[in-house]
Amino acid sequence: MIREIIAAVLIGLGVLVFILSIFGVYRFDYVLSRIHAAALSDTLATLLVFVGVIVLKGFGWGSAKVLLILIFQWVTSPVATHRIGQVEILTNPDYDKHCEVK
Q: Which residues form the interface with another protein (CB under 8 A)?
A: 72, 75-76, 79, 82-83, 86, 90
Residue 79 CB, shortest distance to another protein, in Å, is 5
What stretches of the chain show up as alpha helix (H) in DSSP? 2-27, 31-40, 46-57, 61-91
- Measured from the CB atom, is 57 or 82 closer to another protein? 82
- Measured from the CB atom, is 27 or 83 closer to another protein? 83
Residue 86 CB, shortest distance to another protein, in Å, is 7
- Measured from the CB atom, is 8 or 79 closer to another protein? 79
Question: What is d(CA 46, CA 73) in angstroms, rounded to the nearest whole number?
Answer: 8
Residue 23 CB, shortest distance to another protein, in Å, is 24
Residue 89 CB, shortest distance to another protein, in Å, is 10
Nearest residue to 85 (alpha-carbon basis) of 47, 39, 46: 39
CA 98 distance to own-chain centroid: 24
Question: What is d(CA 78, CA 42) in angstroms, rounded to the nearest whole number?
Answer: 8
Nearest residue to 3 (alpha-carbon basis) of 76, 71, 63, 56: 56
- Measured from the CB atom, is 4 or 76 closer to another protein? 76
